[in-house]
Chains A and B, each alone.
Chain A
Amino acid sequence: MVAFILSRVLQAFIVMLGVAMIAFSLFNYVGDPISNLVGIQTSAEKREQLRESLGLNDPAPVQFARFISRTVQFEFGISYQQKRSVSSIIAERMPATLELSFVSALLALFIGIPMGVYTALNRNSWLSHAMLSLSLVGVSLPTFLIGIMLIFVFAVQLHALPSFGRGQVVDLGFWTTGFLTASGLKALIMPSITLALFQMTLIMRLVRSEMLEVLRTDYIKFARARGLTRRTVNFGYALMNTLVPVITITGLQLGSIIAFAIITETVFQWPGMGLMFIQAIAEVDIPVMSTYLMLIACFFVIINLIVDLLYYFVDPRLRVDRGW
């Protein structure tokens, strides 16, 4: 158990180091940092001086070590455009993205899984066929189109929901939340549905196919042959076994909800990290880009770690020693 966790943590560490290297190389290969800092009139000498004082002439490994040591202290530098520290920008933007992702993930899981189970158990009902056809729409329509359509119907035509922004937020000091006000909650509805739709259909289809697979196994056949009730067989046996592989994929999907909130945030002008990233790209704001890159990688690594551990708890085959 300890060895399992340790080796996973070690792997996560190596992944993060790799990502940090890519983030670091952004500074040197995407444009010249000095030209980004100074104006056109600055003389060549001045530039060289600045280069020296910022340590940009040091060998790459030394610079990388310095970059790492700053990073672990949460010092990500100053945004070229906003002239503020990147960590404060991130801290300001993160709650918006995390709240949106959280609601989307809940939607995706708590609608996707039951739909998957239903369509697997009632393979031939018209409702299953309807859900499956609809899910094709969810998978194939691009997110921004769904977002724009929602805005058109509910904001432009019906005036029921706001078309952009987070609404009123409450500042808790370290966190700004939209959960506590009516306008905040209202503003969440459309972006979270837009973001959840793709994952929801994906989870539904995954659960359905896994469950159909499980329902064909010998132990389900044997359970039915023993006369266990339909509920025990379907939920106690089949669903449990379905969830084992589903956990892995779902975990990764939740990571991508956070990572790919970019499009949804752009469509709804949601003041989160995705929007911040898009703006940073447009303005070649390297510190913001590299920080965002590392942050998202970090989310993925942590989620992966949690998924591995969950797996370990759900599946006894990994947990206990084999054989006697």
Chain B
Amino acid sequence: MAVDNVSMQIDRGEVLGVVGESGAGKSMTGAAIIGLLEAPGRIAEGEILFEGQRIDTLSDDELRVIRGRQIGAIFQDPLTSLNPLHTVGRQIIDTIVTHLKLSQRQARARALELLQEVGIPAAKERIDHYPHQFSGGMRQRVVIALALCADPKLIIADEPTTALDVSIQAQIIALLRKLCDEHGTAIMLITHDMGVIAETADRVAVMYAGRVGEIGPVADIIHKPKLPYTVGLMGSIPSITTEVDELAQIDGAMPRLNAVPPGCRFHPRCAHAFERCHIDLPELIKAGSSEVACWLYDEKKPGKGPSVSRKETARKKKASAKAAEALPLVKVDGLKQYFDVSPPWLTRVLERSGRQIVKAVDDLEFTINRGETFGLVGESGCGKSTVARAIVGLYTPTAGTITYMPGENGGATAKERVAEFDDKIQMIFQDPHASLNPRWKVADVISESIPEDRVSADRVAELLRQVGLADADGEKYPHEFSGGQRQRISIARALGGEPEFLICDEPTSALDVSVQAQILNLMVDLQRRLGLTYLFISHDLAVVHHISTRVGVMYLGRLVEWAETERLFANPQHPYTRLLLQSVPDLSKIGMRRAPMAGEVPNPLDPPSGCAFHPRCPFVQDRCLSERPMSIEVDGTHVACHAVEEGRV
């Protein structure tokens, strides 16, 4: 049973957010509404009413007429949502003529209108293009146009922005809200991202292990959550506006749906659980303006519910003060990493095209001090992972030097450095499923990283305990662990050689928020105990804000700004940083409407001249088009921008 006794109501024109971690049954609920449950899934019990009409009992053909016409849908990945063999125009027209009595010509005119409405530039030409000719953000716009093309009354949007970059995500959310306001369309917004919900939804339903745990107005859910799970969830979300020492942590993971515990499904992880929670399954009961399924709010047990606590402490201040005194550990100087992506020579000769070089990293300069966490943020394709790979020695830099411990070892080249400091530098990757050898026992995975003369069962057990796993876990295989536990194994493996410096490339991006909080807390804890230095790479500004002492912002292979975390987030200098920070959906921005950053990241094969950001920059002047800005220091912030330099911002 994947979804159990879920009841919710969406009013006309309303945005209902449905949140929950992966496997909570959010998408399943959405699919059930439009009758797209995949076999062997079926609706075993309950009913779905649409405008008073029961729709779950309709035949497939009757339901088909409702799909698209009355209820539209948007899915997560715009790259795979469109048929690659048809032009976008044809796909829209197909859908229009299915539902509306229009001729091909009229349908085409309407398709064109729709494309213009969702903000596709040069829609007249673009209508005859194939999906692969559009960028991810543009494709999601096309998907929205497709969902809206018969003017449905409800749209089920399943993670509509998850696959997109922050600035594009903000554009899509704004667009979705605007269109639905104009057309009076209701939205069921399914997402795991509370920030998106905070900004978009009117009401929120929190799902856990196939059930609705709490449902209520968005402000109440975020500021006054009642269900202990929601409380923990809110506390575990890092924010760009508040500073906390440690994220609230819900231990454990959501139960698999074939092994749900008796009683309240959350009780094994709940700090407030009492006897009744172990036995009886709670139903939704009224509590203030919300409804919550928790025995704590039952009349028979009046008690004070849990509350969100965000303790402010001075961890980072201390750390950054210490780091400022410390010696630099890694110095990156003039790093360039180019990749040749030219087509074969015959094509080049015939089409008279030159070599194509992607400047993945172009002239990068920064230092990482001992004991600090240097955060590197940027949108996809900005070159942040390339930096990580260059530092760890997976690439030989095209130009520039990376120096490890510059004070003690003057200017070693990348290759020498790797040989000498092999054990001192380790890396943690994004996908914990792909980065562990599935055929090796965990103990073998970990002992591989320990220098040969020191390998022992005790050492492996010690490492496992260090990352919060049990000694016995060493005898298991990676597939027996959840995503979060696997990331712990990756960390244990990285710690095997007693490194000083860990490069973490999106270490929490594949994890759910509550698990992400566990991993982030673990990393902070390890840093404190082992005196580690981190290079933390992520696209998630909130996570970087939470964990880093200093932050660098990358755009198209260049570092546009770097400064201490607090300074950068409180007082951003570069226009890109400012816009990026504005784009981040955050819990504090309930119902906020804003103008998102325009444009998209340009093609790295053909970057704009001068300052790469100039096509999207509101402060652009002639100089930005021709001259590349150099990094200058303003009040401790390193920033590369003509406008800042000239005091125009």
The answer to whether A229 and B64 touch (CB under 8 A), given A3-B350, A6-B346, is yes
Q: Which B194-234 residues have a C-beta within 8 angstroms of A?
A: none
Determine the residue in chain B with the shortest Cβ distance to A229: B98
Determine the residue in chain A with the shortest Cβ distance to B600: A324
Q: What is the CA–CA distance of A240 and B130 in the complex, to the nearest angstrom?
A: 15
Q: Which A271-324 residues have a C-beta within 8 angstroms of B?
A: 314-317, 320-324
Give the one of B80, B83, B98 with max A CB within 10 A: B83
Instruction: Establish whether residues A219 and B81, one from each chain, have CB atoms under 8 Å apart when the complex forms.
Output: yes
Instruction: Establish whether residues A320 and B130, one from each chain, have CB atoms under 8 Å apart when the complex forms.
Output: yes
Instruction: Establish whether residues B132 and A316, one from each chain, have CB atoms under 8 Å apart when the complex forms.
Output: yes
Report if B172 contacts A (CB, 8 A): no
Q: Which residues of A contact B99 (CB under 8 A)?
A: 227
Q: Which of A3, A244, A314, A322 contacts B132 (CB 8 A)?
A: A322
Q: Which residues of A contact B64 (CB under 8 A)?
A: 224, 227, 229-230
Report if B402 contacts A (CB, 8 A): no
Q: Which of A10, A241, A323 contacts B85 (CB 8 A)?
A: A241
The answer to whether A224 and B36 touch (CB under 8 A), given A3-B346, A218-B77, is yes
Report if A236 contacts B (CB, 8 A): yes
Determine the residue in chain B with the shortest Cβ distance to A124: B39
Q: Per-position contact with A for B41-84: 1 when CB-CB < 8 Å, else 0? A: 00000000000000000001000111111001101110011111
Q: What is the CA–CA distance of A226 and B111 in the complex, to the nearest angstrom?
A: 15
Instruction: Establish whether residues A316 and B146, one from each chain, have CB atoms under 8 Å apart when the complex forms.
Output: no
Report if A232 contacts B (CB, 8 A): yes
Give the one of A2, A226, A316, A321 with max B CB within 10 A: A226
Q: What is the CA–CA distance of A236 and B90 in the complex, to the nearest angstrom?
A: 11
Report if B408 contacts A (CB, 8 A): no
Report if A68 contacts B (CB, 8 A): no
Q: Which residues of B contact A320 (CB under 8 A)?
A: 129-130, 132-133
Report if B344 contacts A (CB, 8 A): yes
Instruction: Establish whether residues A223 and B347, one from each chain, have CB atoms under 8 Å apart when the complex forms.
Output: no
Instruction: Establish whether residues B85 and A226, one from each chain, have CB atoms under 8 Å apart when the complex forms.
Output: no
Instruction: Establish whether residues B130 and A226, one from each chain, have CB atoms under 8 Å apart when the complex forms.
Output: no
The answer to whether A324 and B75 touch (CB under 8 A), given A224-B36, A228-B68, A228-B94, is no
Q: Which of B76, B82, B94 contacts A232 (CB 8 A)?
A: B94
Q: What is the CA–CA distance of A71 and B258 in the complex, to the nearest angstrom?
A: 69
Q: Which residues of A contact B129 (CB under 8 A)?
A: 320
Q: What is the CA–CA distance of A223 and B75 in the complex, to the nearest angstrom?
A: 11
Q: Which of A3, A10, A244, A314 contacts B351 (CB 8 A)?
A: A3
Determine the residue in chain B with the shortest Cβ distance to A220: B83
The answer to whether A218 and B80 touch (CB under 8 A), given A7-B347, A10-B346, A316-B85, is yes
Report if A222 contacts B (CB, 8 A): yes
Q: Which B446-461 residues have a C-beta within 8 angstroms of A?
A: none
Q: What is the CA–CA distance of A315 and B83 in the complex, to the nearest angstrom?
A: 11
Interface size on A, residues (CB 8 A): 34
Q: What is the CA–CA distance of A2 and B352 in the complex, to the nearest angstrom?
A: 12
CB distance from A245 to the nearest CB of B (A): 12
Q: Which residues of B contact A229 (CB under 8 A)?
A: 64, 98
Q: Which residues of A contact B34 (CB under 8 A)?
A: 225
CB distance from B469 to the nearest CB of A (A): 35
Report if A237 contacts B (CB, 8 A): yes
The answer to whether A236 and B94 touch (CB under 8 A), given A221-B36, A225-B73, is yes
Instruction: Establish whether residues B346 and A219, one from each chain, have CB atoms under 8 Å apart when the complex forms.
Output: no
CB distance from B100 to the nearest CB of A (A): 11
Q: Which residues of B contact A241 (CB under 8 A)?
A: 83-85
Q: Which residues of A contact B134 (CB under 8 A)?
A: 324
Instruction: Establish whether residues B350 and A2, one from each chain, have CB atoms under 8 Å apart when the complex forms.
Output: yes
Instruction: Establish whether residues B67 and A222, one from each chain, have CB atoms under 8 Å apart when the complex forms.
Output: no
CB distance from B16 to the nearest CB of A (A): 18
Report if A217 contacts B (CB, 8 A): yes
Q: What is the CA–CA distance of A7 and B95 in the complex, to the nearest angstrom?
A: 40
Q: Which residues of A contact B84 (CB under 8 A)?
A: 219, 241, 315-317
Q: Which residues of A contact B80 (CB under 8 A)?
A: 217-219
Q: Which residues of A contact B85 (CB under 8 A)?
A: 237, 240-241, 244, 314-316
Q: Which residues of A contact B76 (CB under 8 A)?
A: 218
Given A3-B350, A226-B68, A241-B83, 19 further pairs, Cβ under 8 A: A10-B346, A218-B75, A219-B80, A222-B73, A222-B81, A226-B72, A226-B95, A227-B67, A227-B68, A227-B69, A228-B68, A228-B98, A230-B60, A232-B98, A237-B83, A240-B85, A316-B132, A317-B84, A317-B130
Residues on B close to A: CB < 8 A? Answer: 34, 36, 60, 64-69, 72-73, 75-77, 80-86, 91, 94-95, 98-99, 129-130, 132-135, 143, 146-147, 149-150, 156, 343-344, 346-347, 349-351, 603
A-B contacts, 28 of them at CB < 8 A, read A2-B350, A3-B346, A3-B349, A6-B346, A218-B80, A221-B75, A222-B82, A225-B67, A226-B67, A226-B68, A226-B72, A226-B146, A227-B67, A227-B69, A227-B95, A227-B98, A227-B150, A228-B95, A229-B98, A236-B94, A244-B85, A316-B84, A317-B84, A317-B132, A322-B133, A323-B603, A324-B133, A324-B135
